[in-house]
Amino acid sequence: MSDSENQQPRTTGASREADDVSGASTSGEAAGPASDLGLLEALRRGDEEAYLSLVSMHYAAMLRLALMYVGSRAVAEEVIQETWVGVLQGLDRFEGRSSLKTWIFRILLNRARTRAQRENRTIPFSALVTTTEPFEPTVEPDVFRSAEDQHPGSWITPPAAWDSLPEERLLSLETRQQIDQALTTLPAAQREVITLRDIDGWSANEVCDYLDISEANQRVLLHRARARVRRALAGYLAAG
């Protein structure tokens, strides 16, 4: 069994929609068991075209995840290169307990964390995710009417509908930069989950398998990450 199937840190707990923080997926569609098998056979035969296709499919997502841990693009590129070396060396030992994509990204995760710990930039993911996340309101309580009001709990001023904004503003580079900036302010566990789900297009099951967290924890992390990003984006759009 390869190091990526054995060394993933254990933790204890926890369709892309129109309102996800990004509409672009660059990691490709999740491969099923049949396509995994065919690709594995091609890779084990030394099929260079299959290898290059796999590299191209996952490069952007691998770079994004590596950059969460290391300090520069150059180091992230080294981590990616080390990952592919690990993939090629481990092909014969891959047992198919997870999807091929998840296996590859686990190798990346292990390499990135090892490099980051060497640079004293991170702590294990298990230290970032707890069975019970501390309470955090999705929306600030002071935007609702008080219990003494005639209509307690209702909006004081309802949020503005984004569908009334010009499409070019919603899709502008500046708006995307605001999203990227909001992502950098998230706690590490939330940032990792929302990046995988809403930017790279992973399914909930893939994220749980990759990070070894429960469905409940994944759902909480994603919900809170989306809420924080939406609040930041709402403030920016309202100011404009």
pLDDT of residue 13: 35
Residue type, 236: Y
pLDDT of residue 32: 52
Cα 156 from Cα 84, distance rounded (Å): 54
Beta-bridged to residue 155, according to DSSP, are: 144
pLDDT of residue 8: 40
pLDDT of residue 103: 93
Cα 130 from Cα 217, distance rounded (Å): 8
232: tokens are 């930041």
pLDDT of residue 95: 86
Please list the pLDDT of the chain residue by residue as tens digits (240 residues). Answer: 444 444 443 333 333 333 344 443 444 444 455 578 889 999 999 999 999 999 999 999 999 999 888 888 999 999 999 999 999 999 999 988 888 999 999 999 999 989 988 876 544 444 444 444 555 555 555 555 666 776 666 655 555 555 555 555 555 667 778 888 888 889 888 999 999 999 899 999 999 999 889 999 999 999 989 888 888 887 766 665
Which of 104, 111, 54 shows the shortest CA–CA distance to 82? 111
CA atoms lying within 13 Å on the CB side of residue 27:
22
Q: Coil, strand or helix: which one is 26?
A: coil
pLDDT of residue 50: 93
Torsion of CA 4, 86, 76, 223, to 10 degrees: -30
pLDDT of residue 176: 78
pLDDT of residue 81: 96
Burial (CB < 10 A; 0-12, 13-18, 19+), residue 76, is buried
Angle formed at CA 125 by CA 101 and CA 10, multiple of 5 degrees = 75
pLDDT of residue 51: 93
Query: Which residues, including other chains, have CB under 8 Å from residue 142's CB and lie 6 or more apart?
Result: none
- Domains of the chain plus CATH, in order, are 3-125 (1.10.1740.10), 127-239 (1.10.10.10)
pLDDT of residue 141: 57
CA atoms lying within 13 Å on the CB side of residue 218:
19
Q: Coil, strand or helix: which one is 144?
A: strand
Query: For residues 63-75, b (16+ Cβ closer than 10 Å) or e, as one string?
Result: bbbbbbbbeeeeb
Q: What is the CA radius of gyration of the chain?
A: 20
